Amino acid sequence: MRAQGISFYEHVLTASVSDNWRTVRDSLVGRVHKEDLSVVELTTAPREVIWQVFWFLEYIGAPVKYVYYRPESYSSEWLSRIRRSLG
């Protein structure tokens, strides 16, 4: 979506890290330019997607700012998608 010189990209991600990598790459490379300021809202984004977005923006050379909305409280349950046994 583009209005008044502002572009907004929203994508549905899958459980596939490689598919998500391609989605992030295709949504940024060729669309975002060095002079474009990117604002990334990362409140609920998976970690690997956050790293991918920042990596591609650095690769492009585009300035970036981020927005994070801190929750009122954190759950006591494990929030990561992949649970690993520590025992």
Tens digit of each residue's pLDDT (9 = 90 or more) over 12-30 = 888 888 898 999 999 889 8
| Rounded Cα gap, residues 23 and 21, in angstroms | 5
pLDDT per position as a tens digit, 32-69: 889 989 999 888 888 888 999 999 999 999 999 999 99
| Interaxial angle between packed helices 17-28 and 47-60, expressed in degrees from 0 to 180 and rounded to the nearest 10 | 30
CB atoms within 10 A of CB 9: 14
Residue 16 counted as domain residue? yes
The reply to whether 18 falls in a domain is yes
How many domains does the chain divide into?
1
Q: Is residue 47 part of a domain?
A: yes
pTM comes to 0.73
Q: How far is CA 4 from the centre of its chain?
A: 23
Whole-number pLDDT of residue 70: 86
Q: pLDDT at residue 87 above 50? A: no
What pLDDT, on the 0 to 100 scale, is given for residue 4?
66
